[in-house]
Chains A and B, each alone.
Chain A
Amino acid sequence: EAGVAQSPRYKIIEKRQSVAFWCNPISGHATLYWYQQILGQGPKLLIQFQNNGVVDDSQLPKDRFSAERLKGVDSTLKIQPAKLEDSAVYLCASSLDQLAGGQIRGEQFFGPGTRLTVL
C-alpha cells in the first residue's frame, strides 16, 4: 500500500514570498490533516478535512495560510506571504475513519513532510 505522498520535500524562500505544498493521502482515506512542526516542538494541527469539508481549522493563521482539498483527495497548503517564523516541517497525514465507541477513530499515517526555510 502506498503511503502519504508530499511534495516538495524541501523549499527555501525569502520572506514575503508565497509557497505551496501538496499532499496525496492514502487511497480511500477520508480524513486529511496538515500539521506544522517547528524545530524542537511536536507537530501542531493546522487544519483537518473530512472528505472535502473542513472539520477544524482553529489553529490555522488564516491571514496568511490557506488550504483546500478539492474532490476530497489531494490537498494543497499555501502560505502567502511567508514570514521567518513559518520555517518548519509541514506534515500531511491521513486516516481511514472508523466509527467506534461513539467517536471517529482511525490511525493517522504521516507523510515525509516538507521542510520549509524562510530567509
Chain B
Amino acid sequence: AQSVSQHNHHVILSEAASLELGCNYSYGGTVNLFWYVQYPGQHLQLLLKYFSGDPLVKGIKGFEAEFIKSKFSFNLRKPSVQWSDTAEYFCASSMNTGFQKLVFGTGTRLLVSP
C-alpha cells in the first residue's frame, strides 16, 4: 500500500531563508508525485507534479522539487522564502497506473516571519 511521510510538521523561517521540506513515499512500483499548498483561508492548490522525465521539477512561485528514486524522496525547495509563502504544504503520491488515487502526507505548516 502507498504511504507518504512528511517529517517536518512545523517549520518557522525568516524571510529570505532557504526552504527544504522533506517528503518520502513508500511504494514499490512507479509513482507520480505532487506538492500541494493551502494558503490561509484558501483552497488546496497544486504547486508542482512529477510523472516522469527530468527528476528536477519546477513549479509555481519559485518552488522546485527533486525526485530521488534511490531515496524514495521528493523534497520541496525554495531558495528564498517570502512572508506570502506562509501556508500548509502537502506532499502526495499516486500509482502510475489507472486512475489517479492521491495519498497525502500529514502536511507541514510553514510560518515565514517578516
Contacts and interface: CB of A to CB of B under 8 A. Distances in A.
Contacts, number: 61
Given A56-B99, A103-B97, A105-B100, A42 B4 contact: yes
Nearest to B95: A103
Contacts of A106: 100
A55 interface: yes
A41 B106 contact: yes
B43 interface: yes
Contact of A43 (B32, B52, B98, B104): B104
B92 interface: yes
A95 B43 contact: no
Interface of A: 3-4, 31, 33, 40-45, 48, 50, 55-56, 91, 93, 95, 100-113
Interface of A is mostly: strand
B51 A45 contact: no
Interface string B57-82: 00000000000000000000000000
A93 B101 CA distance: 12
B43 A42 contact: no
A40 B106 contact: yes
Contacts of A103: 96-100
Interface string B97-113: 11111111111000000
A31 B99 contact: yes
Contacts of A3: 43
A101 B50 CA distance: 13
B90 interface: yes
Contact of B104 (A44, A102, A113): A44
Q: Which of B44, B45, B102, B103 is packed against the most chain A CB atoms within 10 Å?
A: B44
A89 B107 CA distance: 15
Contacts of B46: 107-108
B95 to A, nearest CB: 8
Q: Which of A41, A48, A56, A105 is packed against the most chain B CB atoms within 10 Å?
A: A105
Given A41-B106, A42-B90, A104 B100 contact: yes
Instruction: Give the 4 A-B CB pairs with smallest separation, nearest first.
Output: A42-B104, A110-B44, A110-B43, A104-B99
